[in-house]
Amino acid sequence: MKTIPSFSFTYGGRRISGSASMQVDAHLRVTVEAIDHPAFSAREWVLWFENPSRERSAILSDIRDGDFLVPLPPQPEKFRGDIAVPGERAVVTMTGCGGPYSTDDAASAREFSAVPRYFHPCRGRNYAFEASNGCARSSESQAPFFEVTQAGQGAIVAIGWTGGWRAKFSNRGDGVRVEAGLAHACFYLEPGEKLRTSRLLVMDYARGEDAGNKFRRLIRRHFSHKASRPDVRDGLFAYELWGGLDSSEMIHRIKTLKAKGLAYEDLWIDAGWNGDSKKCDDNYTGDWANWTGDWVPNRRVHPDGLANVAAAAKDAGMGMMLWFEPERVVSTTNFAKEHPDLLSGSLLYYGNEEGRVYVRDTISGFAAHLGFSCYRQDFNYEPGGDMARLDPPDREGIAEIRHITGLYHLWDELLDRFPKMIIDNCASGGRRIDIETLRRSIPFFRSDYQCGFNANADVLQAHNAGISRLLPYTGCTTKMSDIYTMRSAYSSSHGVAFWNAIFQKEEMVDWTAAKKCYEEYLRIRRYFPCDFYNHGSEGMDPAAWAIWQYHDPQRNEGVVLAFRRARSSSDRAAITLKGLPAGATLETENLDTGEKGVSAAEMEIRLPKKRSSAIILYQVRS
């Protein structure tokens, strides 16, 4: 690696830096756990701070788990006032979640978008970023993935911390200095205390390398749910039923799906199944949210406690995927009244062993009884204030450290107990996406924009174009059954919900389209974690085309998905496929027309109708 990973912190008023483990004094030992990934020119590391003595340590603060230089060539000359010139030095960020979902599609579509921020040599400009303005959900507003780049070379930096983090990028003559770590950390260590802070990942890339796909491969190999459990599925293929549907209606819908040959892998029961709500027809009505914290089936709608639903799902070839939100406890619930000692405000604090064990055993009980294929965890809460109130004097950040590391411990224990189970990491959509959660889970519901029953498919396309630039395992769903919308939601994990809530009637479903999309998704899903190339719009322009290519370089084959949007005046688009051997000849198949043919890398796609789509499989001729 050209980048030399290192760190720094302040201890007892003294600034200390290094790149290896060290004994600072009798009260502070710093251990660096580092792993090199030489095939990717990458290194990850995490710091452990320990007090091996019998006395308190001095104050530890301003911890920069990463404090290093990304070396770059000299900046190009430019005139004062110019914006961007060829070879410009920049940091490219990824927007996090937090769109105004019900009021502004264009703003919602900017989630996961790549935003270049240029360094002007005349101004020496620096850039600083925080998770959720310094609070405690890692990809709210700003995701913890950054590309430092100039003239086609640089590094991608990722922060592994599912709470509040900070990152600063400072322009220097020889490159860009990166400083990254926890947003809140100013504490002493008790005698015998040991804790960790954020994980850093740095991947260098050289001129001519495809940085985005190199990073996708790195995530797939070392930072995904499959990295430690290679036998688990690439992703979910789920059918959603609203939890407030009564069991008899759920069973009817499951049997109907089976009769129509739609054997989804996961029966996804979302919120509304628990507590004691009196009316709960869909996610926008009823009092289901008031029962978050009481994890018992609502006997009004599920008199058998979901056991009969799980049996019907099993008979239809589906595992159970059940929604929980264990960290947030509403104050009026029975649990809140019975266990106030486990709560801080509305937060069930994982720094308390009793609380974390309660959640582990509760989830484990449901998983064993109902046969979980997926544990769906949500988190519709900003816990920064509650965590801060838990911090003792001179111990700022300790509560968050204990809670976040408790979250990792909880998930690790659940996966040890249920090694085939997938964890769906939902936090008001994708607001907890970082390299630590990616290792343990899938952001299946990557944006709460999908909650809408009439969500704009072009927004789903924009989300996919943005997040797929770096991440191979994510998910998307839709509550509509037309082909254009369902295809817009294809990802390595895919969910459908076209017959989900009480008001959705069977006659509203386009069963022909549903069956077509079911069959074609099964055929092409293996390509979605592979290399990704975006040949079309990156945003939500209704007059543009969206065109994606997923390419398997080992097999020299892949798939192209093309969408002509509703206001596009052109009925054709020409692209040149990437990742192919020079001069390759392709065998192609159009999944709509059934037409098979031979093509070069240059491909023309024709769609006579506006708001239509095409899927084309290709394979390089041997």
In this predicted model, what pLDDT tens digit does every residue of 564-584 receive, in sequence order?
A: 999 999 999 999 999 999 999
Does residue 242 contact residue 272 with C-beta atoms inside 8 Å? yes
CATH entry 3.30.1370.60 includes domain 7-222: no
What's the pLDDT at 5?
A: 83
Q: What percent of the chain is modeled with pLDDT above 90?
A: 91
At residue 80, does pLDDT exceed 70? no
CATH architecture designation of domain 237-526: Alpha-Beta Barrel (3.20)
Q: pLDDT band at residue 135, thresholds of 50, 70 and 90?
A: low
How many helices (DSSP H) and strands (DSSP E) are in the chain? 12, 34
Report the alpha-carbon distance of residue 428 to residue 449 in Å, rounded.
Answer: 9
- Per-residue pLDDT of 497-506, as tens digits, reads 999 999 999 9
At residue 400, does pLDDT exceed 90? yes
Average pLDDT, stretch 112-129? 86
Report the alpha-carbon distance of residue 478 to residue 482 in Å, rounded.
Answer: 10
At residue 101, does pLDDT exceed 90? no
Q: pLDDT band at residue 239, thresholds of 50, 70 and 90?
A: very high
Distances (CA, A) of 318 to 4, 238, 262, 300: 48, 9, 10, 24
Distances (CA, A) of 23 to 31, 52, 57, 398, 537: 8, 10, 13, 21, 52
Q: pLDDT band at residue 228, thresholds of 50, 70 and 90?
A: confident
- Per-residue pLDDT of 285-326, as tens digits, reads 889 999 999 999 999 999 999 999 999 999 999 999 999 999
Long-range contacts of 279-283 (CB under 8 A, 24+ apart): 280/242, 280/243, 280/244, 281/242, 281/244, 281/501, 281/502, 281/503, 282/242, 282/244, 282/453, 282/500, 282/501, 282/502, 282/503, 283/242, 283/451, 283/501
As a dihedral over the C-alpha atoms of residue 485, residue 489, residue 495, residue 499, rounded to 10 degrees, the angle is -10
Residue type, 529: P
Does residue 49 contact residue 178 with C-beta atoms inside 8 Å? no
At residue 455, does pLDDT exceed 60? yes
Q: pLDDT band at residue 83, thresholds of 50, 70 and 90?
A: confident
Q: Which of 225, 224, 185, 177 lies closest to 202, judged by CA?
A: 177
Structure token digits, residue 622 = 């041997």
- Per-residue pLDDT of 462-484, as tens digits, reads 999 999 999 999 999 999 999 99
Strand (E) positions, 136-262?
142-150, 153-160, 165-172, 175-182, 186-187, 194-205, 237-241
Report the alpha-carbon distance of residue 36 to residue 508 in Å, rounded.
Answer: 53
How far is C-alpha 504 from the chain's CA centre? 29
Q: Which residue has the tokens 């293929």?
A: 237
What's the pLDDT at 291?
A: 96
String of DSSP letters for 529-571: TSEEEE-S-SS--TTSEEEEEEEETTTTEEEEEEEE-TT---S
As a CATH number, domain 531-620 is 2.60.40.1180
Collapsed DSSP state (helix, strand, coil) of residue 60: strand
Average pLDDT score over the chain: 95
For 419, residues 6+ apart whose C-beta sits below 8 A from its C-beta are: 229, 232
Please state whether beta strands 237-241 and 266-269 pair in parallel, antiparallel, or not at all (unpaired).
parallel
What's the pLDDT at 81?
A: 67
Average pLDDT, stretch 615-621? 97
- Per-residue pLDDT of 148-183, as tens digits, reads 999 999 999 999 999 999 999 999 989 999 999 999
Which sequence spans correspond to the domains of the chain? 7-222, 237-526, 531-620
What's the pLDDT at 77?
A: 78
String of DSSP letters for 502-535: TT--GGG--HHHHHHHHHHHHHHGGGTTSEEEE-
At residue 38, does pLDDT exceed 60? yes
